[in-house]
């Protein structure tokens, strides 16, 4: 596929929170990463408002194991601490395949649509481990990105067969990627086949619900935006 990148992301722990478990203050992880969490990782590697990243598939490399930890978060409206139990994934390792498309809701950034330069910068960012800190679900779960070929190496779930995880959160559709004025939440039913989960595109999800009204952030060259031509030129100055 055009404009595709592949990498492996790993860490000591991951917490892809099931929203249902957050009502009481405690957090319980999904067994697999959500589309939104992987999209956040890709955007930490390289992102521009000109682009929209799509997660194509993820390969689960290590066995799915959880670990419960007692944490002491600060109570709301109080300076005291509370005791909560968070359930994390242990030693997660995922191979990820993603691609970008130009955001058609951003005609003001049409001059920045040079896919060759964006793709080259993205691939270089993968080899550098990303441009920003990478987190596996939550900030306390530090992640690390490395370049790889999707499908290489052995996975615990090779020849494992098919596993369904039931309805789960897919991701958010922000105003600049949707109707330009609404934040939406998406639900889908993922299935893992021999360790690989192929994601549906956001618009193909079974359940889409409006969350609240929103607006698109504006980007102005020279103020809060640097075009790809300048970034590309600066990138080769470093070589």
All structural domains of the chain with their residue ranges: 4-229
Q: 4-229: which CATH topology?
A: Alpha-Beta Plaits (3.30.70)
Q: Write down the pLDDT at residue 236.
A: 65
Question: What are the phi and psi torsion angles at 60 (to 5°)?
Answer: -85, 120
Whether the CB-CB separation of 181 and 191 falls below 8 Å is answered with no
- How many whole angstroms separate alpha carbon 38 and alpha carbon 49? 17
DSSP structure class, residue 78 = S
Q: Write down the pLDDT at residue 72.
A: 80
Q: What is the pTM assigned to this prediction?
A: 0.92
Structure-token pair, residue 84: 């909560």
Rg of the chain (C-alpha set): 19
Q: Write down the pLDDT at residue 138.
A: 93
CA-closest candidate to residue 157, choices 90, 57, 31, 63: 63
The DSSP-derived string for 188-237 is E--EEETTEEEPPPGGG-SEEEEEEE--PPP--BTTTB--HHHHHHHHHH
Q: Write down the pLDDT at residue 118.
A: 95
Q: Output the CA–CA distances (angstroms, integers) from residue 167 to 13, 20, 88, 161, 186, in the order listed.
A: 23, 12, 20, 19, 10
Give the pLDDT of the chain (239 residues) as one tens digit per residue: 899 999 999 999 999 998 877 776 788 999 999 999 999 999 999 999 999 999 999 999 999 999 999 888 777 667 777 788 899 999 999 999 999 999 999 999 999 999 999 999 999 999 999 999 999 999 999 999 999 999 999 999 999 999 999 999 999 999 999 999 999 999 999 999 999 999 999 999 999 999 999 888 888 887 878 888 888 887 766 55
Q: Output the CA–CA distances (angstroms, integers) from residue 228 to 114, 119, 128, 204, in the order listed.
A: 7, 10, 18, 30
């Amino acid at each position: 596929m055009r404009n595709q990148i592949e990498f492996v992301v790993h860490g000591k722990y991951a917490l892809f929170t099931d929203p249902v478990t957050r009502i009481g203050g405690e957090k319980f992880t999904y067994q697999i990463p959500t589309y939104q969490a992987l999209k956040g990782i890709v955007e930490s590697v390289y992102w521009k408002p000109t682009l929209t990243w799509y997660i194509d598939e993820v390969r689960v490399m290590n066995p799915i194991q959880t670990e419960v930890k007692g944490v002491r978060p600060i109570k709301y409206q109080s300076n005291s601490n509370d005791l909560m139990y968070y359930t994390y994934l242990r030693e997660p390792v995922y191979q990820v395949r993603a691609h970008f498309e130009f955001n058609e809701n951003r005609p003001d950034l049409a001059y920045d649509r040079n896919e060759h330069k964006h793709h080259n910068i993205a691939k270089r960012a993968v080899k550098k481990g990303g441009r920003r800190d990478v987190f596996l679900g939550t900030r306390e779960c530090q992640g690390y990105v490395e370049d790889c070929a999707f499908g290489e190496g052995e996975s615990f779930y090779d020849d494992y067969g098919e596993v369904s995880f039931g309805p789960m959160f897919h991701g958010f559709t922000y105003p600049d990627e949707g109707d330009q004025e609404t934040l939406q939440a998406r639900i889908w039913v993922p299935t893992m086949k021999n360790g690989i989960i192929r994601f549906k595109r956001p618009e193909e999800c079974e359940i889409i619900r409006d969350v609240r009204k929103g607006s698109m952030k504006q980007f102005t060259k020279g103020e809060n935006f640097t075009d790809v031509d300048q970034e590309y030129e600066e990138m080769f100055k470093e070589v």
